[in-house]
Amino acid sequence: MKVRKAIIPAAGLGTRFLPATKAMPKEMLPIVDKPTIQFIVEEAKAAGIEDILIVTGKNKRAIENHFDSNPELEQDLEATGKVKLLKLTQDITNLGINLYYTRQPHPAGLGDAIYRARSFVGEEPFVVMLGDDLMKDKITLTKQLMNDYDKIHASTIAVMQVPHKEVSKYGVIDPEGKVDKDLYNVKKFVEKPAVDKAPSDFAIIGRYLLTPEIFEILENQKPGRGGEIQLTDAIDTLNQTQRVFAHVFRGQRFDVGNKEGYLETSIQYGLRHPETRDALKKYIIDLGKKLEKE
């Protein structure tokens, strides 16, 4: 069965970015001139996803507004001859992908957010895309997972090797032999293990391709770490009845879920943006010289 649907969880409170996120969704924080969630939607589109459900929460209306039309703005841009900006604005509305929204009333964990997409997904395989992770590769990571599914017809989780001292920040896999070049069998999935108890350095990153059987598990899943419904725990349970594989991502991952990573990502993307790269590069060089003297 073709993978057509994706879920983007966007109900988190964004407390790491307060006070900026007091009234604005974390997912709308810009990387240069584009909100982070738009990068995720564009990745889904490039991979061939047709329908996206964005799971939101309180004070997240700006996400819906961003992907909706803005007649007043478009009229003003047209009247003032700002043709490029007009097209840029209209392209956001006309992405050629169907967007749907539902709410997670309380922040009860990623597993709970995914469970709220059960009726949307039905009996189809689907992708989960977390907004804290921006991915760069010749073939999008979402498409890589979809290509895996075409071969093995099973749930596949994206992982990436991280420094061992950082494993406690992530869900981690216990690999059990290679199936293909970048594909592993998994013995166990562990949510945020202690550094000395981590089974490997392969951390789960923000892309998952799951079969619909995960919903029955989530329905009965007990709260795990932090008192929340953990998706990693449900995946580990699923792995006991049907194989769940791990796909090793070899591209670039940008973590925009914390201040340091967000700033680093903004600089990296700014150095690639045609309107900012030259001036930003010069500024960084000049700043480096200044800091060396201090």
pLDDT digits (tens, 9 = 90+) for 121-135: 999 999 999 999 999
Residue 151 structural domain: 5-257
Q: Is pLDDT above 80 for 225? A: no
Same domain membership, residue 286 and residue 170:
no
Same domain membership, residue 276 and residue 144:
no
Q: Is pLDDT above 90 for 294? A: no
Ranges 35-44, 105-114, 121-130: which has the least confidence? 105-114
pLDDT value of position 179: 86
Same domain membership, residue 263 and residue 244:
no
Say how many domains are in the chain. 2
Domain with residue 190: its CATH number is: 3.90.550.10
pLDDT interval class at 6 (50, 70, 90): very high
Same domain membership, residue 92 and residue 173:
yes
Same domain membership, residue 265 and residue 214:
no
Same domain membership, residue 263 and residue 170:
no
pLDDT interval class at 105 (50, 70, 90): confident
pLDDT value of position 176: 87
pLDDT interval class at 64 (50, 70, 90): very high
Same domain membership, residue 265 and residue 247:
no
Q: Is pLDDT above 80 for 265? A: yes
Same domain membership, residue 49 and residue 123:
yes
CA-angle at 50, arms to 138 and 96, nearest 5°: 85
Same domain membership, residue 53 and residue 176:
yes
Q: Which residue has the tokens 């749930």?
A: 155
Same domain membership, residue 129 and residue 51:
yes
pLDDT value of position 78: 94
Same domain membership, residue 148 and residue 211:
yes
Q: Which residues of 105-137 are buried (b: 16+ CB within 10 A; e: fewer)?
A: eeebbbbbbbbbbeebbeeebbbbbbbbbbbee
pLDDT interval class at 206 (50, 70, 90): very high
Q: Is pLDDT above 80 for 190? A: yes
In the predicted model, what is the mean pLDDT of the chain?
A: 93
pTM for the structure as a whole: 0.93
Q: Is pLDDT above 80 for 226? A: no
Average pLDDT over residues 29-46: 97
The H-assigned helical ranges of the chain are: 36-47, 61-67, 71-79, 83-93, 110-115, 118-121, 141-152, 214-219, 231-238, 259-270, 277-293
Same domain membership, residue 187 and residue 156:
yes
